[in-house]
Copies of this chain bind each other. A is one copy, B any other.
């Protein structure tokens, strides 16, 4: 692996002059002192014990021989797993070398042993493939973190953040710390709040993002800002959500959309180059409408093609009521999947009919190797019809066409899930392949049909496309935003927008969102005020660091990119947080627990 951060200095201290990861044949016959943990003790019998000594940097083999030193040998008999040792000894070339270990050519003939600490038997094995379940690993996270597999993710995270800072610093971005104790804004997700002892009855909030502060920094003329920063959201948790998460938060002044896309495309390309030595091609810009039309998702996984093909016009008028009555009939073509068995097709049908997806059924057309077409709707459509479908799908003999239908938006979402599932089954979602793009031109607003009002799709500071501003009054739902998401392998890793920088337009936006003037003033007055004193055109983006790292690490969950994550109930089971407070603490905060709820 390509190393980003150059380690320039040897690890050396009064406890050791080498690490367990660096000795090789060049050191033979040198006396060295190492310190680390016992990974394994192998008692060979015949008066020889081998001990694998582990530290962050590697594993080195120690040799205790009865013949050489009976006392030491006796002591080594008592060593257990995870004991902490300091050893001094002579480096010797190994008889049977281990090519898989960088230190596998040598071993240490120990002549001095200090047991720095003993260890009880750990509740699970400290190996890449551990026998510990999730709950046990979380309770003993400090032992789980000893496993290479977990530690490497955090080393990766450190390299990615360091390189991000270098990239941005070299381009005149200033990292500015914004406050963690801020004001609560009831819009958006729920805030975590912090009672103020000095201001009884009042609360700070923890920031969901530094959005307002970074915009104020632009008003201040900071020009280019970034921050790698903890953010907080009090949401019901899912596997991939944490109550605290980290963003790479950025903002720039005097830029248009292409400026900011290029700047941050450059960042991600640099990370891939330095970390994985991959030269990514330029990222396509895909309008939101196109993403929905061809992938049924605003974060399409473009590692594989299999775009949606609309068949409505070709399927109508053949007495197949299901298609005839559907607003939308869409297909995907799975290359080479005509070999799918009846059982596999039934499984796919079950898959799309699961309540989480909610399709009524699945239609398939098999393009047999002999050129004939077989479908589950042969009753209604002849070879000629199917031929037309397959031509539009650009299908070849050996391919499988899968068709869903229904209300457009719903059917597209279902087809999206089907496409991802089939892509997965066909091995098209390779974790070592990376496909990046920008999705642009998002709608500005989203209608909550129940409440009958519009919400900002991104946030209320996102600017509408200039040519769409007149629609704000006549057809708000049609207004497109200057908003963009970066998508990698079907995951939204970052998103942002050009901001409104005119206080009149900002006011209009708040009104469109149903704010009264008083409420807008109360919550965002300082921002609208700030805009009165010369706000520059500005734009920004925020990346979810946890997700970005998990993509680089090839992990499905963000949890193992985080040193001390919370579980799905928002608990840290290791330190047992949250917990009850002393009555004194509650008193000082002028709070009472409401037991009636």
Contact = CB atoms under 8 A, between A and B. Distances in A.
A299 to B, nearest CB: 25
Interface in A514-557: 526, 530-537
A535 to B, nearest CB: 6
A473 interface: no
Interface residues on A, range: 35 or more
A177 B161 CA distance: 11
A175 B156 CA distance: 10
Given A170-B5, A526-B575, A574-B526, A15 B182 contact: no
Interface string A249-260: 000101110110
Interface string A120-154: 10100000000000000000111101100001001
A224 B536 CA distance: 43
B223 A56 contact: yes
Contacts of A197: 190, 234
Contact of A585 (B119, B184, B534, B562): B184
A354 interface: no
Contact of A194 (B16, B194, B530): B194
Interface stretch (A24-32, A211-219, A393-401, A479-487): A211-219
Interface centre among A533, A577, A586, A591 (most CB of B within 10 A): A533
A574 B55 CA distance: 49
Q: Say how many copies of this protein the assembly contains.
A: 2
Contact of A530 (B142, B202, B572, B594): B142
A13 B256 contact: yes
Interface stretch (A96-104, A358-366, A380-388, A563-571): A563-571
A272 interface: no
A182 B569 CA distance: 14
A532 B120 contact: yes
A186 B583 CA distance: 11
B199 A571 contact: yes
A375 B183 CA distance: 60
A570 B195 CA distance: 12
A273 to B, nearest CB: 16
B183 A579 contact: yes
Interface in A150-184: 151, 154-155, 157-158, 161-162, 165, 169-172, 174-184
A582 to B, nearest CB: 6
A562 B180 CA distance: 12
B171 A158 contact: no
B594 A563 contact: no
Interface in A29-65: 35-37, 54-57
B196 A570 contact: yes
Contacts of A199: 569-571, 578
A193 B194 contact: yes
A246 interface: yes
Given A213-B564, A255-B13, A592-B592, A534 B179 contact: no
A543 B585 CA distance: 28
B169 A37 contact: no
A501 interface: yes
Nearest to A532: B120
Interface in A219-233: 219-224, 230, 232
A220 to B, nearest CB: 4
A187 to B, nearest CB: 12
Given A199-B570, A566-B181, A143 B15 contact: no
A454 interface: no
A200 to B, nearest CB: 7
Given A8-B170, A145-B222, A177 B563 contact: yes
A254 B7 CA distance: 19
A16 to B, nearest CB: 6
A593 B590 contact: yes
A586 B181 CA distance: 18
A193 B581 contact: yes
Contacts of A7: 170-172
Given A15-B254, A122-B533, A143-B220, A174 B155 contact: yes
Contacts of A219: 142
A349 interface: no
Given A176-B563, A221-B37, A254-B35, A536 B116 contact: yes
A577 B181 contact: yes
Given A15-B256, A530-B142, A575-B183, A169 B176 contact: no
A283 interface: no
A56 B172 CA distance: 10
A32 B586 CA distance: 62
Given A82-B534, A594-B591, A216 B142 contact: yes
28 contacts: A7-B171, A8-B170, A9-B170, A11-B172, A11-B224, A35-B254, A37-B536, A82-B533, A120-B532, A143-B530, A162-B175, A178-B563, A178-B564, A180-B206, A184-B577, A184-B581, A184-B585, A190-B585, A192-B194, A193-B194, A193-B195, A196-B570, A198-B236, A200-B593, A202-B579, A230-B230, A587-B597, A591-B594
In the A-B complex, the 3 residue pairs with the smallest Cβ-Cβ separation, listed nearest first, are: A145-B220, A119-B534, A183-B577
Given A145-B216, A178-B563, A181-B572, 6 more contacts: A35-B254, A56-B223, A145-B217, A179-B566, A200-B593, A201-B593
